[in-house]
Amino acid sequence: MTAGYALELLGITCTFAAPGGGPSYTAVADTTLRVAAGEFVSVVGPTGCGKSTLLNVGAGLLVPSAGEVCVFGEPLRGLNRRAGYMFQTEALLPWRSALDNVMLGLQYRGVPDAQARAQAQDWLARVGLAGFGDRYPHQLSGGMRKRTALAQTLALDPDIILMDEPFSALDIQTRQLMEDEVLELWAAKKKAVLFITHDLDEAIAMSDRVVVLSAGPATRPMGEFSIDLPRPRNVAEVRATPRFIELHTQIWGVLREEVLKGYQQQLKKVA
């Protein structure tokens, strides 16, 4: 079994009951998404289209209304123990130093403290924060906090990495640095990655495959594009290549309409 899928979302539908008994809201409708082992898949779509919902389903944090999640062929029950999740917003424990935050998952698994500390130190060094282990999150910059979160997620060596717009809050320079770092770490370990973003450039530059979602409600995948750019890639340089521009034009053609649709719907909601 070489073509095994690390993560399969099969016919997922998520319907949320409205508070106060109003009409329920279907965020995701009948969506099937597969991520092969070692594959880097990005999901792009207009804001508010249910990308995070899909990721939460994959993590086991959210039980879908219909459909099934399979992890390495096994149906998922409860939390996805083989996945690491990097959240969009701050998820570090503010009362723990960077090092203690990275140790957290290892401690939960019962790794002896000395060993966990050594491993965490190692991971901090790998994300370029070797000298910052004793800082508390509020003493780190936004980029450093993201690196800490990355180390925290990767320290457990998960087989599947879920990332929810992890760099959307960063400035463009820090962002490109982080993207390159993630690609380097990914290339070394070849884990399955499901990467959510609203930034098409980021999606193309990093992934093997880009999935475009339609505007919500009842989001479905609209198209799938294989990204055949050679690796290793430098996210800043790859953007200037003709193939990148070609792919970008192609995918944007599909995405554009959905973005406009999503925008119109948001306007309607406000009105």
Partner 1 sequence: MTLWQRFKPRTGNLRLWQVGVLLVFLGLWQLASRDVQLAFFLGEPVKVAGRVWSWFLPWAVAPNVLFPDGLSGNADIYRHLGTTLLETFLAFGIGTVLGLACGLWLALSPLASAILDPYIKAANAMPRVILAPIFAMWFGLGIWSKVALAVTLVFFIVFFNVYQGVREVSPVVLSNARMLGANQRQLLRTVYLPSATAWVFSSLHTSVGLAFVGAVVGEYLGSARGVGYLILQAEGTFDVNTVFAGIVVLTAFALLLDGLVGRIERRLMKWQPRQGETEKL
Q: Give the binding site for partner 1 (CB under 8 A).
A: 59, 61, 79-81, 83-85, 87, 89-97, 104-105, 107-109, 136-139, 152-153, 156
At its nearest, how many Å lie between partner 1 and the CB of residue 136? 4
DSSP 219: B
Nearer to partner 1, 96 or 209 (CB): 96
Distance between first and last Cα of the chain: 53
What is the closest distance, in whole angstroms, from the C-beta atom of residue 61 to partner 1 in the complex? Answer: 6
Taking the C-alpha atoms of residue 122 and residue 111, their distance in angstroms, rounded to an integer, is 15
Compare residues 63 and 245 and give the one whose CB is closer to partner 1. 63
Closest distance of CB 16 from partner 1, Å? 15
Residue in 69, 76, 12 with CA at minimum distance from that of residue 213: 12
Please choose, from the candidates 31, 158, 36, the residue with its C-alpha nearest in 3D space to the C-alpha of residue 86: 158
Closest to partner 1 by CB, 91 vs 254, is 91
Rounded least distance, CB 55 to partner 1, Å: 11
Give min distance, CB of 64 to partner 1, in A: 17
Rank residues 176 and 197 by Cβ distance to partner 1 and give the closer one: 197
Query: Nearer Cβ to partner 1, position 152 or 207?
Result: 152
Cβ(26)–Cβ(13) below 8 Å: yes
Q: What is the DSSP letter of 74?
A: E
Smallest separation (angstroms) from partner 1 to the CB of 203:
23
Q: For tokens 């959307």, name the residue.
A: 168
The residues pairing with 16 across neighbouring beta strands, listed in sequence order, are 25
Cα three-residue angle 83-85-89, rounded to 5 degrees? 175
Q: Name the packing angle between helices 142-154 and 172-189 (round to 10°).
A: 10
Residue closer to partner 1, measured from CB, 85 or 225: 85
Task: Please compute Rg for the chain using Cα positions.
Answer: 19
In the complex, least distance from residue 151 CB atom to partner 1, rounded to whole angstroms: 12
Let me know the angle formed at the C-alpha of 4 by 30 and 36, rounded to the nearest 5 degrees. 60
Block residue for tokens 């599947």: 160
Nearer to partner 1 (CB atom), residue 139 or residue 234? 139
